Amino acid sequence: MHVLVTGGAGFIGSHVAAALRSDGHDVTVLDNFHPAAHGPAPTGSGAAPVRDGVLVGDVRDPDAVRAALRDVDVVVHQAAMVGLGLDLGDLPEYVSCNDLGTAVLLAGMADAGIRRLVLASSMVVYGEGRYTCPTHGPTRPGPRAVPDLDAGHFEPPCPTCGAALDTALVPEDAPLDPRSVYAATKLAQEHLASAWARGVDGTVTALRYHNVYGPGMPRDTPYSGVAAIFRSALERGVAPRVFEDGGQLRDFVHVSDVAAANVAACARDGVGVAAYNICSGQPRTVGEAATALAEAFGGPAPVVTGEYRLGDVRHVVASPNRAAAELGYTARVDFATGMREFASAPLRASTAPGTAAPLPASVA
């Protein structure tokens, strides 16, 4: 198949593009080299291809999309502005990149007669994860209150009785409750793709990534994932700063496994929309991730700060069962191996058109 990978010069996208090529597909990459991920573009960089198969263009530009879609069978839509951002001043750029960009892409696909989309979604669409109260059973706590967070009370209580809650794995049919600007834009992407699928009788496979990490993550950017932030600190000789008490549960999934999930999704049969958790199935705390990286790197040890970000949720870990049953996808890289490898793996320096960093080797 001929596959277009939007955002395919970025961290996850470059691994996805490489995996698709290894699987025998013809791959075209469209990427705008957004400064949040790649640093500032050099003066006079122009709009020429970076290298064979990589087009410099923006999914918000109908002309760039039209050119990139020529003779394409499947679109793998990775292009997005990610992370919680710096402040609400980022809101217009998140909506523009993620939602306007997706709308322009989908309109171009409809015009081009392309009916298959693999969408990079995120676990952030769930908001808080799944919880059970010993008395009231399954429950969904509301957003955590600022006075509780200021007092260091990070665990969300039962909204009915205030009791401590037990965590559980989140299935794909869980209620969706985005709690940050980024999360809201990712859910909007899913809704836009669903409307497009109904309108063109198309196929959408939404991959809800959990905490992706691995070689080639961007260095020293506030928009990056927590694993890269910890790794960047260690590289500078600074202790990783762990927010809250470090007990936040997440699922850290290696980028090579995420790339494999995208390859499997391109082959999914059937019309309509299906969402899949792309995770390792091995929940770990944020504190454990920081400690594993620091120990493998050789220090310094993490510092638990008690700080918090209002858009963060406490726990969100997912069930991998649907992806295993329907996509044949199961993560292969275990937490210990992946973190040990990532501790010494090269990070992606700030790059721009014409200077894209080569794709590092990943854990097999």
Q: Among all residues, which ones are annotated catalytic?
A: 182
Determine the Cα–Cα distance for residues 31 and 355; give it in Å rounded to an integer. 13
Instruction: Identify the bridge partners of residue 2 per DSSP, sorted by sequence position.
Output: 26
Q: Where are the beta strands (DSSP E) in 226-311?
A: 241-242, 249-250, 252-254, 272-278, 284-285, 303-304
* Alpha helix segments (H runs only) across 101-177: 101-112, 146-150
The gap between the terminal CA atoms of the chain, to the nearest Å, is 24
How many whole angstroms from its chain centre is CA 71?
Answer: 27
> Of the candidates 152, 169, 140, 331, which has an alpha carbon nearest to the alpha carbon of residue 252?
331
Residue 27 in contact with residue 55, Cβ under 8 Å? no
Determine the Cα–Cα distance for residues 177 and 156; give it in Å rounded to an integer. 15
Task: Give Cα separations from 206 to 40, 203, 332 (angstroms).
Answer: 30, 10, 20
The alpha carbon torsion through 55, 61, 66, 72 (nearest 10 deg) reads 60
For helices 226-235 and 286-297, what crossing angle results, to 10°?
A: 30
Determine the Cα–Cα distance for residues 144 and 310; give it in Å rounded to an integer. 8
170 by Cβ neighbours in 10 Å (0-12 / 13-18 / 19+) ranks as buried
